[in-house]
Copies of this chain bind each other. A is one copy, B any other.
């Protein structure tokens, strides 16, 4: 069967399944009038933010398109537009369904945990299947149209650039609003989280959607597109542009979609495990992932028996693909260990909270640093095994197989923010206490699932970046420059140091941006408390939209500077210090980027869950001194896990793609 047709069919199936899930979400009641009004406010705020973010990025995009067109030709420029538009679209659709699912989860929670769970997962699955569907569709469609695998780099560049902006802008928005709302609301005014009297409460909810839904969707779309294209590109460079090899990654992607659709049917909260325990909820989600993985391994085996490329590859091909699935499974286990309330790292942080704010932070930083070791060993081990079976292309295939699980991984991930916001809406709409209890039970696993996706994304980014680095090397030699990247070459070493610096600088800027945005929110909330009489008594409504507007402006202003780092540094180093230094830079940014990103995303989630662990009644529970210290840790973890950490993933890829694009001019 024609691979491209199969791939288009799978994309269609994914989008169709997503549409079917949308129908399943929309047919349910959005709740009472008050809930609808709240959802409307969040929807409007989120849509308005995304519109302004896209407008800002549009101007950057225009410049990029013109430069690409002039220097690299029309197809690459078109690819850039397709990638950017599809990425923005993926984020937009995912978010628009998420904001609609939020209230419906709260409404369903009135009828029990199982129904709320089902609605939450459906909402999340919409994002999951739309993102992979759009990603595979744009890859296949564009490749079919251009007939040129190299132009796909443009597609990847468009997706990555949008993704960096979405991650940064969304991350600064959400954590600026969150930290700002908490600082004045919880700390100064002493009102609970999600209290409707807090003028920043809608901004906080909007933030969750633009970051955890739209930002995450753009990020995973980018991860998928860039990884797949790097595998296609490497196949083309290594195997003389042989179509069956170039198109093979698309086949893996297609099989992944079919497996994910079937696997998603296994996600169901049975009455026996609906006791509200996080274990049962997590198990229900993992069952779907496990089923998908098992089906995929079966399909991979089928390939090796029944397709020409499979027969040529034989069992080695099969095992390379299995490595990708194994990496996903191991990353899930490791991240779960470091971020779940069940295990010692989170418990250690909770215990350290009993001796104060400082010891909570010290314990959290120690966990965040330690949490890098096993993932890096997994990635290095996978690289080694895959390489020993199929050299560079082995690593590429493992990467692609890892990505084939994206649909279900992202569905599980998006489940988190949807149930989180459902709880927020229940709080604001004054729904009965058991509704909030149900949503809290669902949300409790959200931190871990979010951390798992980030771990998955960064691990695949590490592998994909390695593939991109090889593509860069190949590209240089294609343009007549045989460059050797030797560690004893001073230019390579300088590149390594400068590249290693980039995630640190990027992370620092992102953290500072959150601080600035939060500061702006604090000022505005204080102003409203001062100037609008009756807010605290509930007789006057706060001006939610001004708070949304202020944090929108702050996020858009602050996202520009860090986003330029992965563009300007590679260009400067490439043209000033040469291709050897640029190669060093690429490896440097991957090496420190992996550590900084993993430590931030896992560490942040561990801090958050340590707080939740105390809220479960340990060490004095809510309101105790230990809880206050744990809230501090959570505040620190917020920009770690939701702003700086996840944005490093697309940042690494942008740097690599920029290098690929300028390779011919060096």
Binding site for B on A (CB under 8 A): 179, 183, 187, 352, 355-359, 361-363, 365-367, 369-370, 372-373, 376-377, 379-380, 383-384, 387, 392, 395, 466, 469-470, 473, 484-488, 490, 492-494, 496-498, 500-501, 504-505, 507-509, 511-512, 514-515, 518-519, 522, 583-584, 587-588, 591-592, 594-595, 599, 629, 631-636, 639
Min CB–CB distance A601 → chain B (angstroms): 14
Q: Given A362-B639, A488-B473, verify A505-B631 contact (CB < 8 Å).
A: no
How long is the Cα–Cα vector from A127 to B515 in the complex, in angstroms?
42
Min CB–CB distance A282 → chain B (angstroms): 26
Q: Given A500-B376, A635-B358, verify A591-B588 contact (CB < 8 Å).
A: yes
Can you list 14 pairs linking A and B with CB atoms under 8 Å apart? A370-B505, A370-B509, A373-B501, A380-B493, A380-B498, A383-B493, A384-B494, A395-B490, A484-B486, A485-B486, A496-B587, A497-B591, A497-B594, A501-B595
Residues in B neighbouring A359, C-beta threshold 8 A: 179, 183, 515, 518, 635
Copy number in the complex reads 2
How long is the Cα–Cα vector from A372 to B505 in the complex, in angstroms?
8
Q: Given A362-B635, A485-B486, A632-B356, verify A369-B595 contact (CB < 8 Å).
A: no
Residues in B neighbouring A522, C-beta threshold 8 A: 355
Is A504's CB under 8 angstroms from B599's CB? Answer: yes
Residues in B neighbouring A591, C-beta threshold 8 A: 496-497, 500, 588, 591-592
How long is the Cα–Cα vector from A371 to B557 in the complex, in angstroms?
23
User: Interface majority SS on A: helix, strand, loop or mixed?
Assistant: helix
Question: What 5 pairs between A and B have smallest CB-CB spacing?
Answer: A358-B635, A369-B508, A485-B487, A370-B508, A366-B511
Min CB–CB distance A629 → chain B (angstroms): 8
Residues in B neighbouring A183, C-beta threshold 8 A: 355-356, 358-359
**Candidates B373, B501, B632; contact of A377 at CB < 8 Å:** B501
Is A512's CB under 8 angstroms from B363's CB? Answer: yes
Q: Given A384-B494, A485-B488, verify A632-B635 contact (CB < 8 Å).
A: no
Residues in B neighbouring A629, C-beta threshold 8 A: 357
Residues in B neighbouring A187, C-beta threshold 8 A: 356
Min CB–CB distance A427 → chain B (angstroms): 22
Residue of B nearest to A358 (CB): B635
- Most B Cβ at <10 Å: residue of A362, A387, A496, A514: A362
Residues in B neighbouring A179, C-beta threshold 8 A: 358-359, 362
Min CB–CB distance A123 → chain B (angstroms): 30
How long is the Cα–Cα vector from A381 to B383 in the complex, in angstroms?
32
How long is the Cα–Cα vector from A537 to B621 in the complex, in angstroms?
34
Is A504's CB under 8 angstroms from B373's CB? Answer: yes
How long is the Cα–Cα vector from A509 to B363 in the complex, in angstroms?
10
Residues in B neighbouring A511, C-beta threshold 8 A: 362-363, 365-366, 369
Min CB–CB distance A15 → chain B (angstroms): 37
Residues in B neighbouring A383, C-beta threshold 8 A: 490, 493-494
Is B514's CB under 8 angstroms from A362's CB? Answer: yes
Min CB–CB distance A388 → chain B (angstroms): 8
Min CB–CB distance A366 → chain B (angstroms): 4
- Most B Cβ at <10 Å: residue of A183, A363, A470, A494: A494
Residue of B nearest to A519 (CB): B355
How long is the Cα–Cα vector from A361 to B637 in the complex, in angstroms?
10
**Candidates B376, B485, B487, B594; contact of A583 at CB < 8 Å:** B487
**Candidates B377, B504, B518, B632; contact of A595 at CB < 8 Å:** B504
Residue of B nearest to A502 (CB): B373
Residues in B neighbouring A486, C-beta threshold 8 A: 484-487
Residues in B neighbouring A498, C-beta threshold 8 A: 376-377, 380
Is B370's CB under 8 angstroms from A504's CB? Answer: yes
